[in-house]
Amino acid sequence: MEQLRMKGKRAAGMLAGLVLSCLATTVILLALAFVMLKLQPETGVIETAILVTYVLSCFIGGWYCGRKAQRRKFAWGMLLGVLYFLLLFLVSGMGDRTVQSGLLQSLTAFAVCAGGGMLGGMAAR
């Protein structure tokens, strides 16, 4: 019974961390949209800013999950980053029926999300 309750707490913590990551993404992307409107940066700058958004969002969610976890905080943070990437992949796939995103961009986004979440989990105390 105790193990079942712990699994429920871990799942709830992971879901809360994922929601926190999505909220952070929303805030950062709104700020980025405002900057893009005012400065009109080049495409390379925008792509880099989006990757930084992924890192920061996964870091925040990974930090939260790491705070909730008792052990292996880096693994919980990395799991959050992987789940965030899967959610991101599903949402972006719903907008574009053919999912024409390149393999290299997808692998980069996966590594950035997993790494950002892992760093967040490692930073948690």
Q: Please tell me the distance from the alpha carbon of residue 82 to that of residue 95, in angstroms, as a whole number.
A: 20
Q: Report DSSP state, residue 102.
A: -
pTM of the full predicted structure? 0.87
Q: Please tell me the distance from the alpha carbon of residue 69 to that of residue 104, in angstroms, as a whole number.
A: 32
Least Cα distance to 68 among 1, 13, 2, 7 occurs for 13
Q: Report DSSP state, residue 70.
A: S
Q: pLDDT (tens digit, 0 to 9) for every residue of the chain, 125 residues total?
A: 777 676 777 788 899 999 999 999 999 999 999 999 999 999 899 999 999 999 999 999 999 998 888 788 899 999 999 999 999 988 887 766 555 557 888 899 999 999 999 999 999 88
Give 9's contacts (C-beta < 8 A, 6+ positions apart): 68
The pair of structure tokens assigned to 49 is 């800013």
User: In this structure, what are the phi and psi dihedrals at residue 40, rounded to the nearest 5 degrees?
Assistant: 50, 65
Length of the chain: 125
Domain boundaries, the chain: 43-93+106-125
b (16+ CB within 10 A) / e for 73-90: bbebbbbbbbbbbeebbe
